[in-house]
Amino acid sequence: MSKYYYVKVTVAIVTYKRAWALPYSLGSIANQTRKPDEVVIVLKPSGDGSKDVIKKFTSALPIRLILQGRGNFTDALQIAIDNADGDLVLFIDDDAVAEEKWIEKYITLFENLPNAGAIDGNVYKGYIDNGSVVKTAEPFYDEVLTRRVFYREPLPEFVGYIGWIAKSGFMGMVNPPYDGVFKYALLSGVNMAFRRDAVVSCPIADLFRKSRKGVWNEKILAYCAKRRGYDIYGARGTNAPTVWHLVHNQSLTRDKGFWHEFWLHYDRVANYWRLKKLGANVSFVSYIAACFASLRVKPLPRLLATIYAWSIRI
């Protein structure tokens, strides 16, 4: 057995109002072929019984429960990172279910990719049917490809990546392969892992302090890891760590309506200023072009969000 198998692994879960989903998520962690060394759970109390659900797993898992008194989702992420003791920190959503070899596969990937600071894996749709999880092979997220226009050109650090952060602060992507490992900065927070050293100094809470949704927080974490000298990877296919994201309507990023789109777009527009604060060589011309191009869809909430983001930045 590889010596790397004995690295310390933290599983991190940020949760709010998900008492109904936590038994499935925590149950999947308890059933891992390679047990985590600790499970850091950041719970923002809501009175829904989540704390009682978590307590039921304390005999099966080395849980460290931290109660979040105030703040938003990215504050909870910061708390999780700051309190993780593992060499590797594996994030899974509180409404996602991991395959049994989820931890084992991440350990293998980091062992085979010594320059990797962050990796994400497969995210498929899962459904609850009579109390059981129905696992599908249907991707949870659609891969949105982007045109190669000047405002989508990658930052210098991400040249050669299949999915990248652009000079405008927006994202860019070409068609990713369906199987294998590739350089990819567009991490999915549902299923991602970091070397703790790559992100421990990333000021994620401060950068998102005016955010309501925390959109693209994973991309900012990826950029922080890149600034530390690491590469970022996506893994897909049979050898990639897999989770099933339970389909439901209670979500920060899958809501609908004017204000939902307003706050989503605020984060998109504010991303330029976050990257600039981190020292990225962003382009103001590309940024302005990307902002105006984005108004072709849902123009009213996006226009108002753009003006708001320009006025308060981050």
Q: What is the pLDDT of residue 251?
A: 65
Q: What is the pLDDT of residue 3?
A: 57
Spatial separation of the C-alpha atoms in residues 223 and 228, rounded to whole Å? 9
Q: What is the pLDDT of residue 2?
A: 60
How far, CA to CA in Å, does 44 sit from each of 13, 17, 114, 231, 290? Answer: 11, 8, 35, 32, 35
- Looking at residue 8, the DSSP 8-state letter turns out to be -
- Which residues fall within 8 angstroms of residue 137, CB to CB, at 6 or more apart? 124
pTM of the model: 0.95
Number of H helices, E strands in the chain: 10, 14
User: pLDDT of 120-163, one tens digit each?
Assistant: 999 999 999 999 999 999 999 988 899 999 999 999 999 999 99
Q: What is the pLDDT of residue 142?
A: 86
Contact present, 10 and 86 (Cβ < 8 Å): yes
Q: Residues of the chain whose pLDDT is less than 50? A: none
Q: What is the pLDDT of residue 176?
A: 81
The CATH number given to 3-246 is 3.90.550.10
What are the residue ranges of CATH 3.90.550.10 in the chain?
3-246
Spatial separation of the C-alpha atoms in residues 110 and 60, rounded to whole Å? 26
Spatial separation of the C-alpha atoms in residues 188 and 222, rounded to whole Å? 10
- Which residues fall within 8 angstroms of residue 202, CB to CB, at 6 or more apart? 81, 220, 221, 224, 225
